[in-house]
Amino acid sequence: MNWLAQLLAVVALNVRTIRQRLGSSLVAIVGIAGVVVVFVAVLSIGEGFTAALRDAAAPDRVIVMRSGSDTEMTSGLGAASATIVSEAAGVRRAADGPLASPELFVIVDVPKRATGTDANVPLRGVTPRAFDVKDEVRIVDGRRFAAGTSEIIVGRAAHGQFAGLEVGSQVKWGQNRWTVVGIFEANGTVAESEIWCDARVLQPAYRRGNSFQSVYVRLESPAAFDRFKDALTTDPRLNVTVKRETEYYAEQSRVLRRLITQLGYMIAALMGIGAVFGAINTMYSAVAARTREIATLRALGFGRFAVLSSVMTESLLLSLMGGVAGGLLAWIVFDGYQTSTMNWQSFSQVAFAFAVTPALLVQGVAYAVMMGLIGGVFPALRAARLPIVTALREL
Amino acid sequence: MKFLHLIWRNLLRRKIRTTFTALSMFVAFVLFGVLMAIRIALTMGVDVAGADRMLVFHKTSIIQPLPVSYAERIRATDGVADVTSATWFGGIYQDPANFFAQLAVDPDGFLRMYPEFAVADDQKKAWFEDRTGALVGRATLNRFNWKVGDRVPLQGTIWRLPGGEPWTFTIRGVYDASIKGADDTQFLFSKAYLAEVARKLFGPGSFGDATVGWYIIRIAEPERAAQIAKTIDTQFENSQAETKTNTEKAFAQSFANQVGDIGAIMTAIAAAVFFTIVLVAGNTMAQSIRERVGELAVLKTLGFTDALVLVLVLAESMMLAVGGGGTGLLAGWLLIWRGDPTGGLLPGFFITPRDLALGVALMLSLGLVAGTMPALQAMRLRIADALRRN
């Protein structure tokens, strides 16, 4: 038990005297906090983007596109195919028909508020059924578009990111003049980046004849997927690919997520190395400043292990403070920050919010502690090895 | 110069501290180099856009095609020196994640428009003669270990062949970007081939047969760009396909803006951390000099002038900053030189001479700032006070 008592005594002494070395301790904390801020902030971009897509997916919702298409953008389905899909086995039915929504997906140029330059904003042509199939969509301002008219409703995030989409304002795309009549929400998901209009009005505007690009379908249950998929893929009249919405959106977020996590980890690793060097310096000077004190302790009978542990504890404590401070700062500044970027797969804008998740915070703090461990170990070894007699004579 | 040895010995007094301070400077400047490269990559060619090239897109959006008939009307517009077109093919090579741009172009016209795409003459000739031939950028060729002569299958997503058959192209040549940062990832093939297949698939006059994606024009006098753009767009006003003409630079800029805040935020926060690391290192440098104020007083006692003491301290701080930072910048440059770390997502991943110069300026000012405070302190020091302090 003796070594434990020693350890506690030395650690307590160390912690109490941190204040006297405030300057260099603060530098170490700030350095590590900075690294953690960046680490968490960069990765929260990827988290937010993924969340906007992932949370848009309902387990019992399925997207049907032309076979071989990986996005709605390059897909195309005739009206006849769309009807066959709607009537297939496994589709949930309401009193007035199946919950299936054939849709058109095009992009239009709308100036970005922040820069004034044009951005590719998704314009989705839907049928009235869409509001049942995508029941998370609710109008929060104004009203739904009226069937057969050039009226549009705008997702809340699109309204926030792009200019000229206020309720009552008019926009001209091609030969059509559209009137904004409502703003909608969809639980913060990717649908909020979109503009919706009547598919029947969009078809001639984009010369799509009587065709669609995708059909969104609500299944009787998530388990009905295989039955539904088999029914469609074995139907000789159809040439389609069937994907669960969860799967479809996971693919959509893959490229950007990869870009962000790769760059994020690369930057964080480099910065981490820099911060470790900073921590080593701090701990070495802490040891140097207390050379005599450490020697005195050793002369009094405190063991090497107690001295070593005390330096390590101090280093860990500093890095923990840095990690927590950095995590908090990242959370306060970046969590919920609204932005938009290009979704490379569909070539269109996705508006989303940075998401500083608890998992990211834990990762950030763990990373900080790791930096503290590495930064403390060499100075701690040095402190433990100090020859007592010469050290007592120092200064 | 005769004091160089003195400065050097001073740096070696606390080897560990000097080493780690230099190392954190080293890392900070590796990071600086990488960040500058990321910034360039995310602005995607804004700096290399040709000043005399303009792009004509459909006004509603970039995905809408333009009629082939526009070519002659644009060519006839006053101020237009040359016209060519490109159409986005959107094929998939094995996996959608293997993304690279494929364009259907008029081979001769396209190479005339982009003289920075350098192709060997025999390969150029082979490409012109093979209807199903492709010209591939060096980066993409290397990425998939292709060779000239290889046959490459691409799954069409917009133009799907019956039964989901892939399109097959024979690589007839490779181009290099003779301007740093020009896009060397593209896959180019003949638009005549695309039109022929589109005609079979969807009939004459269809999408891809009677249309192109966008026009690229060269103008004789770049300063008239705005006026020429207006003339072209006015011509097609109220037609089936209204146009929007812009300089290549403006287009690249708006594209970069679409990628958006992401790049800006990443660089901003990482720049903040760069400065944190630099501050930490600067603080350590200042601290190590503060500790030696007594010694500096001894130097003065020995007859060193105030100015000389100032210079000595500054020189030491500079040496540390430039030593650590300079090697860091060099290492960063070597790291970036290997190219895009993400496997094709950031084609223009390089560091510009301007950013290198900025890096050097930063490390010099760091040495100066970290050294100035303690140096001034040392200079103003009165010998008696300093000696008493110990």
pLDDT digits (tens, 9 = 90+) for A39-64: 898 889 889 988 888 888 889 999 99
Tell me the average pLDDT across B5-29: 84
- The rounded percent of chain A whose pLDDT value lies above 70 is 99
Which of B20, B254, B266 has the CB atom closest to A280's CB atom? B20
**Number of Cβ within a 10 Å radius of residue B121:** 8
Q: Is the dihedral of CA B289, B293, B294, B300 positive or negative?
A: positive
Euclidean distance between CA atoms A221 and B58, whole angstroms = 43
Mutate: best of A65, A150, A267, A319, partner B, most B CBs <10 A: A267
Closest-CA distance of chain A to residue B115, Å = 28
What phi and psi values does residue B57 have, to the nearest 5 degrees? -115, 165
Interface check A266 vs B, CB under 8 A: yes
Interface check B30 vs A, CB under 8 A: yes
Residue A221 CB-density burial (10 A; 0-12 exposed, 13-18 middle, 19+ buried)? exposed
pLDDT at B270 over 70: no
DSSP A279: H
B 343-362 near A (Cβ less than 8 A):
345-346
In the block, tokens 């790049």 appear at: B263
Query: How many interface pairs between A and B have CB atoms less than 8 angstroms apart?
Result: 179
User: Do A287 and A21 contact (CB within 8 A), yes or no?
Assistant: no
Which of B24, B59, B242 has the CB atom closest to A274's CB atom? B24
pLDDT at B183 over 70: yes
Closest-CA distance of chain A to residue B306, Å = 27
B 83-102 near A (Cβ less than 8 A):
90, 92, 96-97, 99
Residues 6+ positions from B320 with CB-CB distance below 8 Å:
B11, B18, B21, B22, B25, B285, B367
E strand or H helix that includes residue A258: helix A254-289
pLDDT tens across A317-355, in order?
Answer: 999 999 999 999 999 999 998 888 888 777 788 888 899
Helices then strands, each counted (H, E), chain A: 13, 16
Closest-CA distance of chain A to residue B321, Å = 14
pLDDT value at position A395?
54
In A, which residues are within 8 Å of B46 by CB distance?
Answer: none
Which of A34, A67, A173 has the CB atom closest to B276's CB atom? A34
DSSP A355: -
Pairing type for strands A195-198 and A151-155 reads: antiparallel
Strongest mean pLDDT among A243-257, A356-370, B262-276:
A356-370
pLDDT at B47 over 70: no
B 137-166 near A (Cβ less than 8 A):
155-158, 160, 164
The nearest alpha carbon in chain A to B252 belongs to A117
Euclidean distance between CA atoms B193 and A301, whole angstroms = 88
In A, which residues are within 8 Å of B265 by CB distance?
Answer: 41, 45, 339
pLDDT value at position A159?
94
E strand or H helix that includes residue A267: helix A254-289
The 3-state DSSP class for residue A383 equals helix
pLDDT at A200 over 60: yes
pLDDT value at position A178?
95
Q: Give the bridge partners for A78, in sequence order.
A: A211
pLDDT tens across A175-197, in order?
Answer: 789 999 999 999 888 899 999 99
Quick one: tokens of A135?
């029941």
Mutate: best of B18, B237, B280, B389, partner A, most A CBs <10 A: B280
DSSP A187: T
In B, which residues are within 8 Å of A273 by CB distance?
Answer: 27
CA angle B123, B126, B128 (to 5 degrees): 110
The nearest alpha carbon in chain A to B343 belongs to A259
Interface check B283 vs A, CB under 8 A: yes
pLDDT value at position A332?
95
Mutate: best of B160, B243, B262, partner A, most A CBs <10 A: B262
Which of A78, A77, A192 is CA-nearest to residue A134?
A192
pLDDT at B5 over 90: no
Please indicate whether residue A242 or residue A117 has the higher confidence score (pLDDT): A242
User: Do A368 and A376 contact (CB within 8 A), yes or no?
Assistant: no
pLDDT at A19 over 80: no
Closest-CA distance of chain B to residue A172, Å = 8
pLDDT tens across A261-289, in order?
Answer: 887 888 788 888 888 888 888 788 778 77
Which of A31, A68, A259 has the CB atom closest to B160's CB atom? A68
Which of B265, B277, B342 has the CB atom closest to A259's CB atom? B342
In A, which residues are within 8 Å of B21 by CB distance?
Answer: 277, 281
Q: Give the bridge partners for A109, in sequence order.
A: A120
Q: Is A65 left (phi over 0), alpha (psi -120 to 50) or beta?
A: beta
Model confidence band, residue A82 (pLDDT cutoffs 50, 70, 90): very high
The nearest alpha carbon in chain A to B64 belongs to A206
Which of B242, B254, B342 has the CB atom closest to A262's CB atom? B342
pLDDT tens across B294-318, in order?
Answer: 777 788 888 888 888 888 888 888 8
pLDDT at A120 over 80: yes
Q: B220-257 b/e with 16+ CB inside 10 Å = b?
A: eeeeebeebbebbbebbeeeebbbbbbbbbbbbbbbbb
pLDDT at B151 over 70: yes
Give me the torsion for CA of B288, B293, B295, B296, rounded to 10°: 110
In A, which residues are within 8 Å of B286 by CB distance?
Answer: none
**Number of Cβ within a 10 Å radius of residue A131:** 17
Which of B34, B242, B260 has the CB atom closest to A339's CB atom? B260
A 37-76 near B (Cβ less than 8 A):
37-38, 41-42, 45, 66-71, 73-74
Whether B157 and A70 lie within 8 Å, measured CB to CB: yes
Euclidean distance between CA atoms A164 and A168, whole angstroms = 10
- H helices present in A18-90, as ranges: 22-54, 79-86
Which of A108, A277, A342 has the CB atom closest to B27's CB atom? A277
Please indicate whether residue B338 or residue A230 has the higher confidence score (pLDDT): A230
Q: HEC states along chain B?
A: CCCHHHHHHHHHCCHHHHHHHHHHHHHHHHHHHHHHHHHHHHHCCCCCCCCCEEEEEECCCCCCCEECCHHHHHHCCCCEEEEEEEEECCCECCCCCCCCCEEEECHHHHHHHCCCEEECHHHHHHHHHCCCEEEEEHHHHHHCCCCCCCEEEEECCCCCCHHHCCEEEEEEEEEEECCCCCCCCCEEEEHHHHHHHHHHHHCCCCCCCCEECEEEEEECCHHHHHHHHHHHHHHCCCCCCCEEEEEHHHHHHHHHHHHCHHHHHHHHHHHHHHHHHHHHHHHHHHHHHHCCHHHHHHHHHCCCCHHHHHHHHHHHHHHHHHHHHHHHHHHHHHHHHCCCCCCCCCCCCCCCHHHHHHHHHHHHHHHHHHHHHHHHHHHHCCHHHHHHHC
Whether B30 and A270 lie within 8 Å, measured CB to CB: yes
pLDDT value at position B263?
67
Quick one: tokens of A200?
């029947």
B 38-57 near A (Cβ less than 8 A):
38
CA atoms within 13 A on the CB side of B219: 27
E strand or H helix that includes residue A98: strand A97-98
Q: Is the dihedral of CA A199, A200, A205, A207 positive or negative?
A: positive
User: Do A85 and A215 contact (CB within 8 A), yes or no?
Assistant: yes
Q: Considering only A379-383, B8-12, B102-106, which range has the smallest mean pLDDT?
A: B8-12
pLDDT value at position A1?
55
Whether B160 and A349 lie within 8 Å, measured CB to CB: no
User: Do B387 and B301 contact (CB within 8 A), yes or no?
Assistant: yes
Whether A267 and B92 lie within 8 Å, measured CB to CB: no
Euclidean distance between CA atoms A193 and A253, whole angstroms = 14
A 294-333 near B (Cβ less than 8 A):
none
Quick one: tokens of A329?
């700062």
Quick one: tokens of A159?
């309204």
